[in-house]
Structure 1
């Protein structure tokens, strides 16, 4: 009898947990007004490092001195003391 009550309470509990209804999205009668945001122009900053020279496949060309300590994605490799 104890097992039967436990099993029934488990089934009823799962039934109540899955029976929750979601609230449908409220549709308003007013027309939504969208504002267009102008994109900000990125300020051109002069960086101390020269631009990275890339191969045709987009990876940094390791033959150049400024690319010797870069990862394949062009980010600085933190294993080197210069990049820490």
Structure 2
């Protein structure tokens, strides 16, 4: 019985030791194409939102009443759904 337990512990030990090895990563050479970014065209007239100095929408104006802090429409309101 002692020999059996010793043999099983060796087999399990070697099994766990080999299970931890990771296959080497293969190098893949992929080329990424960079698309030119179009510059935003300046809008003629008033901006869509009036912003505070920190960049958040100013809630005192009617067009900014139903916007989140980041300027996206707040989906809790029916007009923004």
With structure 2 as the length reference, what TM-score do the two structures score? Answer: 0.62
Cross-structure match for 1:31: none
Q: Cα distance 1:23–1:63, how it changes in 2: closer, same or farther (>3 A)?
A: closer
Residue 37 of structure 1: how far off its partner (Å) = 4.6
Q: Cα distance 1:11–1:68, how it changes in 2: closer, same or farther (>3 A)?
A: same
Q: Cα distance 1:25–1:36, how it changes in 2: closer, same or farther (>3 A)?
A: closer
Cross-structure match for 2:68: 71
Q: Indicate whether 1:52 and 2:52 are aligned.
A: no
Is there any run of 5+ residues in structure 1 with no aligned partner, and where?
27-33
Residue 19 of structure 1: how far off its partner (Å) = 3.1
1:10 to 7, 12, 18: 12
Deviation beyond 6 Å, 4+ runs, structure 1: none
Cross-structure match for 2:38: 41
Root-mean-square deviation (Å): 3.4
With structure 1 as the length reference, what TM-score do the two structures score? Answer: 0.60
Which deviates the most, 63-72 or 34-43?
A: 34-43
Q: Distance in 2 between matches of 1:35 and 1:63?
A: 46
The size of the alignment, in residue pairs, is 72
Is there any run of 5+ residues in structure 2 with no aligned partner, and where?
none
